[in-house]
Structure 1
Amino acid sequence: MSQPTASNSDALEAHFDLAELFFSRTDNRGVIQAGNSVFQRVSCYAWDDLLNAPHKIIRHPDMPKAVFHLLWETIKSGKPIGAYVKNRSKTGQFYWVFAFVTPIEGGYLSVRMKPTTALFGAVEKEYASLRQRERTDGLEAEESASLLLARLGELGWNSYGAFLAEASVQELSARQAALSGEDSSFGIATDRIVKSAKQNQIDSARILRLCDKLKNSAINLSIQSSKHATQHKLFQVISQDFARVCALLKEKMEEFIVMAEEVFDQINTSLFLQSTVLIQTEMAHLFQQEADQESQINHAQEITLLNQQSAEYTEQAAQSLDKMTGEIEAFEQLCKKMLEHVDRLGMTGTIGLIETARQSDKGATTYALLEETAAIQEEMETVLKAISTRNSVLRDSIHTVRTYRVDITASAHHPAVLKQSA
């Protein structure tokens, strides 16, 4: 079947309501097997044209190849993914969606919602720029995907997973607020999780830099201690103590960085899974309302598949949230151990400052080095305490997110909203 050619109608948007969701199911080759009435209506294709047609029948030429490369690489590995996607209807109209795509037995399931956030607006511009690069430079999909990931890094996301977690919870929270008329604690909690996790990652890198500075100060102290003939033994002890504590910090630092990355990755995974569960659950409820409609779709079969998928991801999300909580608690214990070492460093530095001040010449160089070390120690202590505080915020926010479910009383005249369990 030939694709519609771009025309003036391509500048017109195919509208659907914020409360509406739609889904399509394909086989492993991406051939459409089923969908709901909203999918068929917005695409403007008849079911005879959609069923057994490749899903790319609705692909818009403005979409970067990079996005589909990342999508297929991920779902073929058995993992879910999400993406902003611009589609084109049979009439040439465009419509944007945020798609949650998951592997399902025999193929893939895609549930879509209307994107509305400021992030979506930024994505439109980034897609246009990347698509232009693809055309101008003749980029292959893999090359374009590398550019996309690099650009995300420049914008503050160290991976597509980090971007995906933030995008999915932002879109879900914005939709919830618009449908319910008020901001929910779900949106507040997920926003805190995202911001706290990102700041913890930034501060972890900051701790690493401070450890390097501390190591250099310890070396300089060791050199300087050998120049104090009268107090050589004392400053040698202080220098050795500094070196010992620095070694302990370095040992913990390696574990700290690894754990910080693991926590960050787990948070991204958990947030996206939780968003997927909520949107799939709502989709299953909405599709049940189409059961009486005449269609070429086997509603009973699709409802069963949707419910099975929702149940599977509900379990995965719960396990992921449990794992995230455990990793945050372990990370917190490591923060406490590092604080103990930093406190020990502060005590040693204080002794050194007192003894240096007693010298007639004030030991100016040594005193300056000890002051420098004290400043580093104080900064490390401040940063570690800030991380610990955010860990508490993360635990509380995770508990809040865990309590949310989809209101099953949703109907065509009563849009579904997220409800917090009692």
Structure 2
Amino acid sequence: MENTEHALPPKEAKFDINELFFSITDHASTILCGNEVFVSISGYREEELIGKFHNVIRHPDMPRIIFKTLWDYLQADKPIVAYVKNKTKEGGFYWVLAAVFPINDRYISIRIKPTSKIFAAVKEIYAKLLAAEEMGGMDESGKILSELLNLNGYEDYDHFMNDALLQELGERQKYVSNITPNEDNNIVSPSLKKLKVVHGYSLDLMNQYDIWFEKIDFFLKVKSMFEEKGLKLRELARDIVFLSLNASVSSYKVASGGETFGVLASDIRLNAKENDTLIADIDTVAHHFSLALNNIVFTVAGMRLQIEMVSYFIHEVSCKNSDLQIPGLIDKIFDLVGLITQYSIYLRQLQGELAQYIQTVLKNLDQLEQQMMYLGYIQVYGIIEAAGSYDESIRFGVIFSQLKSLVEETRNEIGIMQKVGENFSSENRHMTENSKVIDALMNHLKEEMFTIKNMEES
């Protein structure tokens, strides 16, 4: 009799959107520890995971180019976000969005359940990458990865992972509410009682980072506007240069009064060159400003995830109400708090950079506005001179009318950039003040953790 039975498809492991898990590895990818959800979802016992390489949960459906990209970032001491399909001990699977952060001699990987629209596109991208690797290896899939990211609207992997993290965190916040502190009044362990206080601080920090997170849309709009307006200013500057050349050529054809038009054309050309220099300076600073904004958006999103990780783990630990495992768990929390502290300092540095960049841009915009005012005076004088010209074929009036339009349009673009820049500068000062609240909460959290650690060691 013919066997018609078919192997059952791999089963997807249960991973709820309100869950979160993490693991800590050394630089060789050896698993040092993880939280309860990590152990549970993997299907392994904790002792089966600790000391093993992280590829123990690597799924064969994952393109190798993604792991190469991941290691390229980590070895450059840069955090990275990637969609990853993992396997369970029983042969099942589960998808995660993994955010991996280098900290000293370790890597901390935080994983959440992916639910955004980007995730659906990623599955298709990974299938194409796997096919490319089968045909031409990682070199081929590396080329395909760049092409596929471009087709989906991303300039490079940095822009893709920034958007992926923002989209996934945004979706997650729709469904996940903050975990409330453990209200068990029968807690006996002094350390666990103290840990309740720490958990309260962690929740307060989450609320503060939510304020930052809500500003991300504003940051992205400012970044987009500066890029758009910077491009527009360069186009207008080129138009003014071409107009000045046209004016110079036309001045030689004027039978009477050509010298005056020649001087005006020379002034326009000189002004245009100075404008080019200023706009190039604005463009350079705006580029650095844009990169710093990218970094701050990613850092804020990453820190929002980090503090949720700490809060989630503290809740796990505080629910144990047992002294047996507390010392080791406290050490883990201590490490995690160190991660947040490190990235919190980096966030302050980025704020300082942004403040300097925006002030430089505003200063250059003010200078450019003065240049355009002077060009406006030239245009008015040129219109008056053209009105008295009897050589209709030269039509200098048309040239200076065009110049008027270019001056007005340029000043309008400058005004928009100045307004947005000033609004951003004000918002950045406000968020700097908010950072002081975060620093105070962070200090309280660290002090409580030191107290708990000393209690455990004494």
Q: TM-score, normalised by structure 2?
A: 0.78
What's the % identity of the aligned pairs? 27
CA drift of 1:304 comes to 1.3
The residue correspondences of 1:178-217 to structure 2 (distance < 5 A) are 178-180=175-177, 186=212, 188-217=214-243
2:4 corresponds in structure 1 to: none
CA contact (8 A) 2:63 2:129 kept: yes
What is the letter of the counterpart of residue 59 of structure 2? Answer: H
Secondary structure of the residue aligned to 2:138 is coil
CA contact (8 A) 2:21 2:112 kept: yes
Match of 2:332 among 296, 299, 302: 302
Q: How far, CA to CA, are the matches of 1:39 and 1:343 in structure 2?
A: 64
Q: How far, CA to CA, are the matches of 1:58 and 1:91 in structure 2?
A: 11
Q: How far, CA to CA, are the matches of 1:284 and 1:115 in structure 2?
A: 20
1:373 corresponds in structure 2 to: 403
2:181 corresponds in structure 1 to: none
CA contact (8 A) 2:386 2:397 kept: yes
2:159 corresponds in structure 1 to: 162
CA drift of 1:232 comes to 1.1
What is the letter of the counterpart of residue 194 of structure 1? Answer: L
The alpha-carbon distance between structure 1 residues 284 and 324, as it changes in their structure 2 partners (threshold 3 A), is same
Secondary structure of the residue aligned to 2:215 is helix
Q: How far, CA to CA, are the matches of 1:98 and 1:394 in structure 2?
A: 31
CA drift of 1:361 comes to 4.1
Aligned residues between the structures: 397
Q: Deviations over 1:376-396 (max 9, x none)?
A: 333322322222233244345
CA contact (8 A) 2:254 2:391 kept: no
Q: Deviations over 1:21-76 (max 9, x none)?
A: 21111111112111111111112222233222221222233333333222211211
1:382 corresponds in structure 2 to: 412
Greater percentage in helix: 2
Gaps of 5+ in 1: 1-6, 409-422
Q: Does 1:230 align with 2:256?
A: yes
Q: Which moved more, 1:261-270 or 1:12-21?
A: 12-21
Match of 1:343 among 370, 373, 391: 373
Match of 1:266 among 289, 292, 298: 292
Q: How far, CA to CA, are the matches of 2:404 and 2:272 in structure 1?
A: 13
The residue correspondences of 1:266-415 to structure 2 (distance < 5 A) are 266-291=292-317, 292=320, 298-395=328-425, 398=428, 403=434
Secondary structure of the residue aligned to 1:298 is helix
CA drift of 1:189 comes to 1.9
Match of 1:240 among 266, 271, 291: 266
2:109 corresponds in structure 1 to: 110
The alpha-carbon distance between structure 1 residues 395 and 88, as it changes in their structure 2 partners (threshold 3 A), is farther
CA drift of 1:233 comes to 1.8
CA contact (8 A) 1:152 1:159 kept: yes
What is the letter of the counterpart of residue 71 of structure 1? Answer: L
The alpha-carbon distance between structure 1 residues 322 and 128, as it changes in their structure 2 partners (threshold 3 A), is farther
CA contact (8 A) 2:213 2:300 kept: no
Moved over 6 A (4+): 293-297, 404-408
Q: Does 1:176 align with 2:173?
A: yes
2:33 corresponds in structure 1 to: 34
1:129 corresponds in structure 2 to: 128
CA contact (8 A) 1:284 1:306 kept: yes
Larger of the two Rg values belongs to structure: 2
The alpha-carbon distance between structure 1 residues 231 and 127, as it changes in their structure 2 partners (threshold 3 A), is farther
The alpha-carbon distance between structure 1 residues 46 and 315, as it changes in their structure 2 partners (threshold 3 A), is same
1:52 corresponds in structure 2 to: 51
Q: CA RMSD in A?
A: 2.9
Secondary structure of the residue aligned to 2:386 is helix
What is the letter of the counterpart of residue 286 of structure 2? Answer: A
Gaps of 5+ in 2: 1-6, 179-209, 443-458
Q: TM-score, normalised by structure 1?
A: 0.84
Secondary structure of the residue aligned to 2:253 is coil
Q: How far, CA to CA, are the matches of 2:224 and 2:147 in structure 1?
A: 18
CA contact (8 A) 2:213 2:304 kept: no
What is the letter of the counterpart of residue 175 of structure 1? Answer: R
The alpha-carbon distance between structure 1 residues 131 and 300, as it changes in their structure 2 partners (threshold 3 A), is same
Q: How far, CA to CA, are the matches of 2:77 and 2:166 in structure 1?
A: 22
1:417 corresponds in structure 2 to: none
The alpha-carbon distance between structure 1 residues 268 and 129, as it changes in their structure 2 partners (threshold 3 A), is same
The alpha-carbon distance between structure 1 residues 361 and 223, as it changes in their structure 2 partners (threshold 3 A), is closer
